[in-house]
Amino acid sequence: MIEIIKKLKSKNRNDLAKLLVGCKSGIEETDQYGSYWNKFISAFVIYAPTQSYQQLQKLSKSDVGAILQSVLELHQKSEELEIGFLNFKLLPYEDTRNENREIAYSWLDRAKNKLEDGKQSLAKWRYAEAISSFQECVEFSLKAISLLLLDKYPRDHKFDEKEFKEVLDNIPESLSNLEFHKLYLYSRFWGDFYTVAKYGFENFGIGAEKLFGKEEAELAQKHADKCYFTANQLKVYLENPW
């Protein structure tokens, strides 16, 4: 949907582009024969939240045609896919999606708070406490990203490769310069310190304050800054794709 929104904006149809923000899309094959032998025409389906759906249903034929034209420019006719028309449907599980978005926004607020907590601890030379806060910032940021993109998130303190690969597969092309793949590295690295930064090596009788210094805390801050910034950029982008 994001590419269609961008296409409409490039044609100065911001009114239509705005209607599609928050929508999902899919392809449905019909039983109508298309241009190729024994091939069928497909419908491009736009799943819209209730308010947007009601407005889409009222569009003129020319406005529907403008959306369809943008779809066709992005999905050109071939033997594999021939789109013939648009369908508008209600977005499934809309309430759940709205709840997930609000949870993600809450986690981003908590990530920001943890980032600030970490900076304050770092300024007071409480390095282990700073790292603990920065680690939580990383965790909240990545879980918010997953919830915004996939409507789900891992229940433990870090992602496995399969889980984060699904996140990467859904990153908008316009945000590829933000290097989301590096966030996975930060998540794995600092996730290993989750318990140690809080409790130290209890079996050795070594507290966390003796394990971490300024250098480690400053590195943790750098990584937490990037995670929060990237997650917030995704939030802003999904609200207003450019």
pLDDT tens readout for residues 75-127: 999 999 999 999 999 999 888 888 999 999 999 999 999 999 999 999 999 99
CB 158 within 8 A of CB 191: yes
Block residue for tokens 């269609």? 4
Please, what is the Cα angle at 15 between 10 and 18, to 5 degrees? 85
Q: Provide the 8-state DSSP code for 209.
A: G
Please determine, for residue 157, whether its predicted confidence score (pLDDT) is greater than 70.
Answer: no
Whether the predicted model's global pTM rises above the 0.85 cut: no
Question: What average pLDDT score do residues 231-241 get?
Answer: 91
Domains of the chain: 2-90 (no CATH), 96-239 (1.20.120.330)
For the four alpha carbons of 227, 233, 236 and 239, in that order, the dihedral sign comes to negative
Half-sphere exposure at residue 23, Cβ-oriented, CA atoms within 13 angstroms = 29
pLDDT at 163: 86
Cα 113 off chain centre by: 20
At 15-63, the pLDDT tens digits run 999 999 989 999 999 999 989 988 999 999 999 999 999 999 999 999 9
Q: How far apart are CA 94 and CA 198, in angstroms?
A: 39
What residue type is 8 in one-letter code? Answer: L
139 near 157, Cβ under 8 Å? yes
Give the per-residue SS3 of 163-193: HHHHHHCCCCHHHHHHCHHHHHHHHHHHHCC
List, for residues 186-214, the tens digit of each pLDDT value.
999 998 888 888 888 888 888 888 889 99
Helices (H), the chain: 2-10, 14-20, 50-57, 61-74, 94-123, 127-150, 161-168, 180-191, 194-199, 214-239
Among 41, 46, 44, residue whose Cα is nearest residue 57 = 46
Give the residues across from 21 on adjacent strands.
none
CA geometry: angle 226, 209, 189, nearest 5 deg: 35
> Sign of dihedral through CA atoms 169, 172, 177, 182?
negative
Please state, in angstroms and as integers, the Cα–Cα distance from residue 217 to each residue in 115, 135, 158, following that order. 12, 10, 19
